[in-house]
Structure formats: C-alpha cells, structure tokens
Amino acid sequence: MAVAAGRTGRPTLAVVGATGAVGTVMLQILSHRADIWGEIRLIASPRSAGRKLAVRGEEVEVLALAEEVFDGVDVALFDVPDEIAERWAPIAAAKGAVVVDNSGAFRMDPEVPLVVPEVNPHALRVRPRGIVANPSCTTLCMIVALGALHAEYGLRELVASSYQAVSGAGRAGVDTLRRQISLVAGTELGTSPGDVRRAVGDDTGPFPEPVALNVVPWAGEARADGWSSAEMKVRDETRKVLGRPTLPVAVTCVRVPVVTAHALTLHARFESEVTVAKAREILATAPGVVLFDDPGAGEFPTPADVVGTDPTWVGRVRRALDDPTALDFFVCGDNLRKGSALNTVQIAELVAGARA
C-alpha cells in the first residue's frame, strides 16, 4: 500500500486544483495534520500559475498544469472538473503517481477503488489504473456512520433525504445564496405565492429555483424516470463503498439555504433486530463519528454547529416504530471537509503508508 519515498526521504505530494474551494480546504488540512510529506507541489490552470498559496506555514508558487509537473510526484490529489480529471489523472498515473481523484470521473470505474478510510480501507490494495476515487460530498456526509452500523447489523435497505448546502454547487452556489439573501433580508417576502421568485428574478445561479427563504427538491442533472444525478450518485456510491451491489437505495436530494454542511435523514433497515442502546454505542465509538443526541435538551447536530469540523455528527437516533430491524437517524457533516478535502487527504495518507 505504501509508495516509494522521494529524494527528501518523504513522499512528494501534488495538489491539482489548489486554488479552488476544496483545494483551499485541502491546503488548510495539510497544514494542520501530521506532516508526512516532503515537497508539496501546487498545481492549477495556467491562469492561476504564479500565484502563491500558504501551506504548512510557507508560501508556495502555483504551477500550471502540464505533464512535467508530475515528474517525481508520489501521490497526486485532484480536485478539478470531470473532464480535466479524465484527461490528466491517467497522465499523472503514467508518470508514477498514485492519483486520488475527487471528481466523478472514475467513481464507478470497476478498476478504480472508491474509498472511505473508516469504512473500506482494504479497497486500496487493488488499484490497477493507479487511481483511487473519492465519493461525492453527500455520500461522505453519511457513509461513515452508516458503515459503522452496517458492520454490526448488515444493511439491507436505505431510504435517505438530503438537505444540501449551496457550497456543494461551488462558489457560484454560495455567491448566489448571498445575493439572494441581500434581496430578501428585512422584507416581508415569503408570505404570498411567487413573491420570492419575483424578487430574485432570473438570478438563480446554478439552481432551478430561489434558495433564499426556500428549499429546492433537486440537485444535479436529470436522469431517467425523474431521478437526478446527485440521487443516483448516492445510490451507486453507497453500494460500491459497502460492497453491496444490489442494495435497495432510494434518495431524494434537496438544496437548502445553508452555506456549508450537508445533512441527511436516514431510514436504514438491517438484517437483524436493532436496539437504540447498541446503535448509540456503535456510533459513539466509531472513528470519525460524533454522537450528539439529546433532543429533550435541544441537543442534535445542525449545519450551523458542525461547519468547519471533521467528523460526521449523528443525532435523533430512533428505532422505527413499525420495524424492529430499522433505525431512523439524522447525520450532518461539512461537505468541504470530510465531504471532499479531508477524505481525499486521508486516502493519500493511507497510500503513502502513514496509516497502513
């Protein structure tokens, strides 16, 4: 699982897409975790070349994406659009780097493992293309908690509804919400049909409807039979990470007026009877999970509280009223940290041998 060390005695890391929203978080995470890396090489599009970004307390110049920037790189983290990853990840792999890709380009490739270190680290052992994929942010915000319960009880069916922050649509999503908030703040809007829509006009950004004072039951692009691409991602990725290719999964993705941190409600049916006491014990001791669950005291996770943190937070744990094998619970996680950057860095650390 380990890669060869570079000339410094420690592996060389490349961050491709270092100037993006997730790339920025990656650099923050790399600056605060145990420093196992030798050189950290920052790479972005030619228009960003020459900029200097801080990582590990040092200013590092950004290099333009080109074949030669991967010379001597041991591990390359990619956070770029699918089409860029499709072109450049194989080039980096051919140069000898193990690529950890955060795009959707390779997630369903049978020759590319889809990895969540707390759930299926063993999948890293076989990577014939030299590429490892990172699940989507919505999947990552639930799969660590779900995986811990699956390991004990055996998941047999999942019904999920997501409440997705606008940062899942990138900076354009955040900018759109902030503009819309400025339009509706201090008004009486939201009290009659269409008044928010009229105030916002065509300024819906990457969303089909206003997100300020609203929720939008859609994320992604249209797929067959009324499903969205975001919903199909959660279904397909959950199956692959858990190693259950025929697992019944039904997902509804909803965009909410939150800047960062996704939340989901989960109805999970298992192979055997469950108890809340045992489920709470599993969740409270699972790596990467925080159980925060005392509704009587007003304690449960919300995006406003978990943003900027690394764990998956879990609350509202209940056994289903009509099914002794099912649990209902609420999960919440920062979609830019564990949902993207942190999981990518964790995979890179495993590849480098730090957690082998």
Q: For residues 190 and 211, what is the distance between their CA atoms, to the nearest angstrom?
A: 12
Angle, alpha carbons 197-193-164 (nearest 5°): 55
| Positions in the chain whose pLDDT score sits under 70 | 1-8, 354-356
pLDDT tens column, 158-199: 999 999 999 999 899 999 999 999 999 999 999 999 999 999
pLDDT attached to residue 6: 45
| Side-by-side strand order, sheet with 262-270 | 249-255, 155-164, 262-270, 326-333, 312-319, 289-291
pLDDT attached to residue 7: 43
Residue 262 annotated in active site: yes
Residue 267 annotated in active site: no
- Active-site choice (122, 137, 150, 332): 137
3 state SS of 170: coil
pLDDT attached to residue 3: 46
DSSP bridge partners of 99: 76, 131
The alpha-helical segments, DSSP class H, found in 95-250 are 137-153, 171-184, 195-200, 229-242
Tokens representing 61? Answer: 């110049």
- Active-site choice (150, 253, 262, 332): 262
The H or E element spanning position 44 is: strand 40-44
By C-alpha distance, which of 97, 128, 78 is closest to 11?
97
The count of C-alpha atoms lying within 13 angstroms of the C-alpha of 48, restricted to the half-sphere facing its C-beta, is: 18
**pTM of the predicted model as reported, rounded to 2 decimal places:** 0.93
The H or E element spanning position 75 is: strand 75-78
The bridge status of strand 63-64 relative to strand 40-44 is parallel
Q: For residues 266 and 326, what is the distance between their CA atoms, to the nearest angstrom?
A: 10
pLDDT attached to residue 8: 57
